[in-house]
Structure 1
Amino acid sequence: MDHLVLTVIAEDQPGLVERVAKCIAEHGGNWLESRMSRMAGQFAGILRVDVPAQAHAGLTEALRQLEQQGIRVLVAHSGDEPERQWRMIHLELVGNDRAGIVRDITQLLARHGVNLESLDTDVLPAPMTNELLFRADAMLAVPTELPLDDLQQHLETLADDLMVELKLQPAE
């Protein structure tokens, strides 16, 4: 079996996921996992599938044909993930919205070898003032050799500069 990672993007429309799933099933593929979401009228997703090696080319062509229906699919081979020496940490962040928050946080994380496993963000009105609040919810893979106290200290220093509140806790 070939392990493939597919990235899908299209204007949101009923039946979009069904058409991708149909292509995969018609080529003997198995849908393993996915993350999908609608935002601002667009639909995007990433998914991992197994497909028989002999069906790989046919599946790739069938997915390419979906572009005629406005569905773009990027196909990539899934590599074996190396043995991980990580601790999974959950990060929550809330603060007044301003440009550059994601850049500043991700620069700090990258500098310390922390891998961003998932990131969900929103900008919402504050309950009493209606000022815009930025909210981030992330899952971090922290190298086991990086002391969590050090990461916490660096993040808290940055949080003070950004005027945001953050909370780190081990993932469950």
Structure 2
Amino acid sequence: MKQLVLTLIGKDRPGLVEEISSAVLSHHGNWLTSNLSHLAGQFAGIVQIEVAEEHLQELQDALRSLANLDVRIESGEACENNEEPETINLVITGNDRPGIVQELATVIRHKGANITHLNSKQRSAPNWGLPIFSAFATVSLPPGTVKENVIEALESITSDLIVDVEED
């Protein structure tokens, strides 16, 4: 089976996910994992699918022909070993400001870790006067990394940043 990673973007409309999933199913693909969002009136998605080699081209053609949707298709890589790296799920909250995501990403990279999933948003905080940044991040740790060191490094960015670990 061939692994594919799709990135999709286009004006959001009712039935769009059904249209995409129908194209995958009708061309013998299997929808494995996805992250789909509505952002500023646009549909944005990342989808991992698998398909037998003999159906690969017909599936790619069907996906690229979806109306009013930009589709990019990349080949995925199968895991070479079954060993999953240690991951931590972080809930991060603090006063929003330009560059906060870059700061978080830099600290995580300097600790040798990798952000594998990130959902973030800005929300108003009427009692505080400043918008609040909140994020959920899954971070994979290289062997030998102490997760508490990553958390402490993130919290040291600024005194108003709260980092909690969410247990699986």
Same fold (TM over 0.5): yes
| Distance apart, 1:171 and its partner CA | 3.5
**How has the CA–CA distance of structure 1 residues 26 and 85 changed in structure 2, closer, same or farther, with 3 Å as cutoff?**
closer
Q: Which amino acid aligns with 2:111?
A: H
Unaligned runs of 5+ in 2: none
How far apart, in 2, do the equivalents of 1:85 and 1:58 lie? Answer: 33
Q: Tell me which residue corresponds to 1:39.
A: 39
1:159 alignment partner, SS class:
coil
The answer to whether the Cα contact below 8 Å between 1:31 and 1:49 also exists between their aligned partners in 2 is: yes
Deviation larger for 148-157 or 91-100: 148-157
Higher helix share: 1
| Distance apart, 1:70 and its partner CA | 0.8
| Distance apart, 1:159 and its partner CA | 3.3
| Distance apart, 1:5 and its partner CA | 1.3
Q: Tell me which residue corresponds to 1:56.
A: 56
Q: Tell me which residue corresponds to 2:127.
A: 128
The alignment-based identity, stated in percent, is 32
Superposed CA offset, 1:114-140 (max 9, x none): 111211111111152342111111111
Q: Which amino acid aligns with 2:26?
A: E
Q: Tell me which residue corresponds to 2:145.
A: 146
Q: Which amino acid aligns with 2:13?
A: Q
**How has the CA–CA distance of structure 1 residues 56 and 35 changed in structure 2, closer, same or farther, with 3 Å as cutoff?**
same
TM-score normalised to the size of structure 1?
A: 0.88
Unaligned runs of 5+ in 1: none
Q: Tell me which residue corresponds to 2:79.
A: 81
Q: Tell me which residue corresponds to 1:165.
A: 162
| Distance apart, 1:85 and its partner CA | 5.5
1:58 alignment partner, SS class:
helix
Q: Tell me which residue corresponds to 2:27.
A: 27
Moved over 3 A (4+): 82-85
Q: Tell me which residue corresponds to 1:12.
A: 12
The answer to whether the Cα contact below 8 Å between 2:91 and 2:166 also exists between their aligned partners in 1 is: no
> What is the root-mean-square deviation in Å for CA atoms of aligned residues?
1.7
